[in-house]
Amino acid sequence: MSKSTKKFAVGVVIAAGLGYVVGLLTAPKSGKETRNDIKTAAVKTKRQLELKLKKLHSETIDLIKAADEKLVNLKGKAKTDAKKIIEKARNATIKAKEVMSAFHEGEADDIDLDKAIKDLQSSVSGLKNFIKK
């Protein structure tokens, strides 16, 4: 996905979220109903973040295996650089697993999930670039 497409997608998601919140706050509902709607939306968002993190975790594990296989044929600086990329990905998967556990225990929040997702996305990108070469 190109940077402009990502920016557009992020903008659409933010606009949709803001529209939803404005709709909730201006809807002719009782405070209790509105709070319940907000709580439901928050739970749904957390579930979506968790699912995205799990999917990225699995994808990263698969890419690490593919990168390890390709690493065997490399030498010198290329091998050193590849090892760094793979190590970064391994660390990101470990951190993601820790965040998922902490999230289930109530010790992590959306910000932690989002950071773990970004770290895994970065690792996936690095691994894909390495494997393409």
Encode pLDDT of 48-93 as tens digits: 888 888 899 999 999 999 999 888 888 888 889 889 999 999 999 9
Contact between 95 and 119 (Cβ < 8 Å): yes
- The CB-based long-range contact list for 94-103 (8 Å cut-off, 24+ gap) reads 95/119, 96/53, 96/56, 96/57, 96/60, 96/120, 97/57, 99/53, 100/50, 100/53, 100/54, 100/57, 103/46, 103/50
Distance, in Å, from the CA atom of 41 to the CA atom of 23, rounded to the nearest integer, reads 13
Q: Please indicate, yes or no, whether the overall pTM of this predicted structure exceeds 0.85.
A: no
* Domain ranges for the chain: 3-132
More confident call, 94 vs 16: 94
Burial 95-123 (b: 16+ CB within 10 A, else e): bbeebbeebeeeebeeebbeebbebbeeb
Distance, in Å, from the CA atom of 114 to the CA atom of 96, rounded to the nearest integer, reads 10
Q: Any idea what the Cα angle at residue 122 is, between residues 43 and 76, rounded to 5°?
A: 155
Confidence of residue 119 (pLDDT cuts 50, 70, 90): very high
Confidence of residue 24 (pLDDT cuts 50, 70, 90): low
Residue that has been written with the tokens 């998922």 in this structure: 100
What is the percent of the chain where pLDDT is above 70? 95
Token pair recorded at residue 18: 């803001």
Q: What is the pLDDT of residue 61?
A: 93
Tens of pLDDT along 2-18? 666 767 777 777 888 88
